[in-house]
Every structure is written in C-alpha cells, then in structure tokens.
Structure 1
Amino acid sequence: MFGRKIVLAALFTALSVVGASIKIPAVIGSIALDSFPALLASVLLGNGAGAVIAASGHILSALLGGMPLGPLHFLVALEMAVLVWIFGNIYRTGSKKMAGFIFLFSNAFLAPLPFLFIMGKEFFFAILPSLFIGSLFNLAAALLMAPRLVWLKGGKTDSLEANR
C-alpha cells in the first residue's frame, strides 16, 4: 500500500507540473492549473501528501513562469501547502461544500494579504480577480474529479469494478 501511495503522489506531482504548464492569461501574470492535483491528493492520499504536492506544484509553476515574485514564491508555496492541508481535512469529514468555500475564499482573498503590505494596495487589488478565477478553476476541477477517483484510495471499489 505504501508503494501505491508513493506512485500516486508522483503521478499527482507530474499532473501539477502539467497543470503549471497550462497558462491562462490573467490581469497580472497568468492562471495555472497546478493546484487541482494537490487538492485531489489531499482527498485521496492524505493531507501531508496534498500539502507537499501543493508547495512543489506552486514552485514548479513559478519556475516555468520565470519567478516573477522572486523569493516570495516560497511564501506562496507555504500558503498553498497550508490551504490544501485544510481543504483535505475538511473535505474528508464530509463537508465538501465547506471545504470548497474555505479554500476558494482563503486562496483568493486571505493568501494574498501579505502582498498588500509588501507590494502595495495596487498590486493586491489587481491580483484578486486573477486569484479568484484561478482558485475557482482549480477547485472546480478537483471537486468534479475527486468523487470519480475515490477508487484510487484502495478501499472500496467503484460500481464499474464491482460489475467485473
């Protein structure tokens, strides 16, 4: 079972790199689809795996984008790890809508708060629409896919496998 979890974590990390490569133009920079694999991993593999994949996914996305915020990306990676850990924890208690709401609100509005003081209110307010849309895209992808991938946990099988 441990080997299976390692392989799945590697797969989700690779999906995060692919998602980081898909850039959707935004108000400032671009929106990347790098966090939905981390959200999935937090649900399917556990909070720790999801947090590691979120942090590494963000760093890889930033590297592919040219590290526009420099070392501040490490702060964002830490924030992403914490938010994905919280999302997975709440999601697995059965509060899927609450987990989604908290992730969306926190990632779009609370996580950028340090930039209000570091880079000024102009940057902060300019980045909010892009973060909201990016968070919404990543969250929607994760919430749509998670119930369909529960069989990856290794516990219960889905109805398709049961019919074989």
Structure 2
Amino acid sequence: MESRKLKVLILTALIAAICVIGSFIKVPGFLATSALDSAPAFISVAFLPPVYSGLAGALGHLATSMLSGFPLGSFHFIIAAEMFIIVYLFNVLHRKSYNIIKWIFLIVSNGIGSALPFYFLISPAFFFSAVPSLLIATIINAVVAIIVLPAITRVFKREEVCNE
C-alpha cells in the first residue's frame, strides 16, 4: 500500500476513534444519542478527503448510538448515512472555500434536516421533539470545530499531509 493512502487510512481510523471518545460526552435533551461525536469529523475536513471524513462521521454516530443502546433501532443506520453525506458535503464546501456557507449548511442540514425523515418514519411529534436537542448538539459540535479547524488547517497545510 502506498504511503499516502496508508496515512489517510490511519488518520481516518484516528478520527473515528476520537469520534467514539466524543460520543461519551452527551448533550442533554430529548435524544439520548446527542453527543460531541461529530466535531472530530467536522475538523477532519482540514486533512482528509471527503469520503474519509464522511466515513469518520458515520462511524462516530454509530458509536454514539451503540453507547446509548440503539434507542432508535435500525434507524441509526439511516442517521449514519445522513452523517456521511453531511460531513462529505461539508468537506467539499470547505475545500472550495465556501467559509460561511459551509457552516450554515452544516447547522441546518445536521441540526434540522437530518431529523426530517423521521417526521414521516416515526411521527411529526418525534421530529419536533428531536430538533431542539439535535440543533443544540450540532451548534456545540460546530463551535468546537470553528475553534479548532483554523489551527489544524495551518498545521496540515504546513506538513502537506493527505491534501489532494
């Protein structure tokens, strides 16, 4: 395996592991799976390609749901797929230097949009109950990423690790 690809895989595994650690830090609210599991995936856009950042975000959610006892059952696989797509697109926006749009996209898509399928799959009451805690958890994860991302970006630009 070539050196660059190995670095990307190792960094992806490390970010996924940090997402697992973040999943232990719960955000109180209606959803038992709201936690600080997304921030590492959001930060990984500084040095991982979009697919790998998305994968780390999906694995982070699955870890959080496992630690919470899978309260939504198999629906957590839908949420993991949503996390993959959201983090993937956030990474693409970051790479294209859409600095304000990427944060708006992240907060709206993760804080509100990710709950939208459950309006139809579970109930409107579930959706309206889930959005406040999901939005708060998303904002907290985004604030952590906003604080850390500039420093991480500078470090990885200097080191030229995993940049496409």
Fold equivalence (TM over 0.5): yes
Match of 2:125? 122
- 1:66 is displaced (CA, Å) by 0.4
Out of 143, 147, 163, the position equivalent to 1:140 is 143
Per chain length, whose mean CA-contact separation is higher, i.e. which structure has more relative contact order (CA < 8 Å, sep 6+)? Answer: 2
SS at match of 1:100: helix
- 1:2 is displaced (CA, Å) by 2.9
Hey, what's the Cα distance between the residues in 1 that align with 2:7 and 2:150? 19
Hey, what's the Cα distance between the residues in 1 that align with 2:120 and 2:51? 30
Tell me the percent identity.
Answer: 31
- 1:30 is displaced (CA, Å) by 4.8
| 8 Å Cα contact 2:33/2:64 also seen in 1 | no
- 1:10 is displaced (CA, Å) by 1.8
Hey, what's the Cα distance between the residues in 1 that align with 2:128 and 2:145? 26
> What is the identity, as a one-letter code, of the residue corresponding to 1:117?
F
- 1:43 is displaced (CA, Å) by 3.0
Out of 101, 105, 110, the position equivalent to 1:107 is 110
1:25 and 2:28 correspond: yes
| 8 Å Cα contact 2:25/2:35 also seen in 1 | yes
- 1:22 is displaced (CA, Å) by 1.0
Task: Give runs of aligned pairs for residues 1-164 of structure 1, distance below 5 A.
Answer: 1-150=4-153, 151-152=155-156, 154-155=159-160
TM-score normalised to the size of structure 1?
Answer: 0.89
SS at match of 1:137: helix
Hey, what's the Cα distance between the residues in 2 that align with 1:141 and 1:28? 20
Hey, what's the Cα distance between the residues in 1 that align with 2:98 and 2:43? 15
SS at match of 1:139: helix
| 8 Å Cα contact 1:42/1:48 also seen in 2 | no
SS at match of 1:14: helix
Root-mean-square deviation (Å): 1.5
| 8 Å Cα contact 1:33/1:138 also seen in 2 | yes
TM-score normalised to the size of structure 2?
Answer: 0.89
- 1:155 is displaced (CA, Å) by 2.1
| 8 Å Cα contact 1:30/1:130 also seen in 2 | no
SS at match of 1:28: coil
SS at match of 1:55: helix
> What is the identity, as a one-letter code, of the residue corresponding to 2:160?
G
> What is the identity, as a one-letter code, of the residue corresponding to 1:155?
E
Structure 2 unaligned blocks of 5 or more: none
- 1:25 is displaced (CA, Å) by 1.4
